[in-house]
Amino acid sequence: MTTRRTFLALTGVAGLALAGCRDRATTAAAPLTDVLIAETGGGLVRVSPAAEQAYGTAAALSVDGAWLAVVREKSLSLIETATGAQTAAIGVAAGWLPRVISPDGRACALTRTPAAVIPSGRARTPLTVVTDGNAREYDLPGTIEPDAFSTAADGLFVLDWLPAGNPGHYRVRRLDLASGRLEPLLTRNKVPVPNGTEEEMRGEGRQAVLTRGGQLLLTLYTHQPGHQHTRDLISGRPGNAHAFVHVLNLAEGWAYCLDLPHPFGEGPAQGHAIAADTWGAAVVDSTSGKIAYASTESLAVDRVVSAPLPAGTTTALAIGPDRRLFAGAGDRIIVLNRESDAVEATWPVPGQVRGLGLSRDGTRLYAGTAGAVHWFSAADGAHLGSRPVPDPADLRSVA
């Protein structure tokens, strides 16, 4: 299912000559030891060391990749990605599709329409939420799309598309699961957004990542002509942001837009990507050859640096535990030192990169390509092995 969330980390940054043009020895093939999730034309596929499991199009993956939700024969199962263990099947009526899963796997939101970059207009939206094995159905006014659960799983953040009959932009609101009411978010100061000043997104979210132990959801937006932040609407200032990171606190229910400086957002959306860890976030724009580092504490860009990135390629990032930045596009992976901003290495990939992911211990870097997933030593880029996967496929997560 292609959504605003899954324009995702189709990684990359390429175009540098190999350092010194030296030959790199090929190591003996190492077996697959992690669990991978790939998105194919036929839906999500779980690739484990032992086997592959295709879940079809009635399946969804949590933002952090830890959980899968699958509907089969009128029953919903939540599956732990790493182990394959699943909850007892929960009966659902025919036609429900899983869309959003809470990070702890307790809750799942389902709709009767598949995910779409821009949904079809409708007067009302039926929505089912399953929490701790109990299902409740909601009938909501307008065109509503589920986006993320609150950390306590007592609320569901949704996209309220406007105008409902012909959607072109949306605002983020919170569905109180107890009362069934749609509510505006809070400002960064934790006060309700005043009437008439709710932020309306005039574009498509490129990619979303979780940080701070799942408390903050960071969504990268590009190409937002005429967009005005809530703070601009409250103050009366004009706004015309081309790219920003929408910061949504899933625990406290407030949102803030972290602006990215020009020229971020001027180039193609697929040339942008975001990655995050406990220290903050990095955003790359391969068209301008820039990387912005931002703090999730101050909610501000700390610095912008130049990087020799190739324009015109799909770009995404992965951050290692040693705070190195891995970027891949074309048939290359580039390793960047976040302390010195230097390019440490450039590694070849046997095909065009279609997703990056690190093993939990940070020692193996996975790259998706057409028809295969390859893994490398994260220390020196040695090619350790490969595994065929259905084509087309984009690497979504590593567990």
How far apart CA 244 and CA 260 sit, in angstroms, is 5
Cis-peptide, bond into residue 103, ω within 30° of zero:
no
Strand order in the sheet with 290-295: 272-276, 280-285, 290-295, 300-306
Instruction: Give how many domains the chain has, as a whole number.
Output: 1
What percentage of residues in the chain have a pLDDT greater than 70?
88
How far apart CA 96 and CA 189 sit, in angstroms, is 37
pLDDT of residue 127: 98
Residue 1, in any domain of the structure? no
pLDDT band at 197 (very low <50, low <70, confident <90, very high): confident
Residue 12, in any domain of the structure? no
pLDDT band at 329 (very low <50, low <70, confident <90, very high): confident
Is 373 or 230 the better-scoring residue by pLDDT? Answer: 373
Mean predicted confidence (pLDDT) in 367-376: 92
Residue 30, in any domain of the structure? yes
Name which of 129-133, 266-270, 297-301, 371-375 the model is least confident about: 266-270
| For residue 8, pLDDT beyond 90 | no
Residue 203, in any domain of the structure? yes
Query: Residue with structure tokens 């409902």?
Result: 164
How many other β-carbons are positioned within 10 Å of the β-carbon of residue 192? 12
- Give pLDDT tens digits for 34-61: 999 999 989 999 999 999 999 999 999 9
Residue 3, in any domain of the structure? no
Mean predicted confidence (pLDDT) in 339-357: 90
Residue 304, in any domain of the structure? yes
- Give pLDDT tens digits for 98-110: 999 998 999 999 9
Q: Are 105 and 61 in contact (CB under 8 A)?
A: no
pLDDT of residue 240: 53
Give the contacts of 8 (CB within 8 A, at least 6 positions apart): 206, 207, 208, 316, 355, 394, 396
Residue 13, in any domain of the structure? no
- Residue 224 is which amino acid? Q
Residue 385, in any domain of the structure? yes
CATH number of the domain to which 321 belongs: 2.130.10
- What is the span of the domain harbouring residue 380? 19-398
| For residue 11, pLDDT beyond 70 | no
Sign of the four-CA dihedral 15, 19, 24, 30: negative
pLDDT of residue 311: 76
| For residue 9, pLDDT beyond 70 | no
pLDDT of residue 203: 62
| For residue 14, pLDDT beyond 60 | no
- Give pLDDT tens digits for 304-314: 998 877 777 77
Q: Are 65 and 78 in contact (CB under 8 A)?
A: no
pLDDT of residue 25: 39
Name which of 131-145, 186-200, 335-349 the model is least confident about: 186-200
| For residue 22, pLDDT beyond 60 | no
- Give pLDDT tens digits for 100-158: 999 899 999 999 999 988 899 999 999 999 999 999 999 999 999 999 999 999 999 99
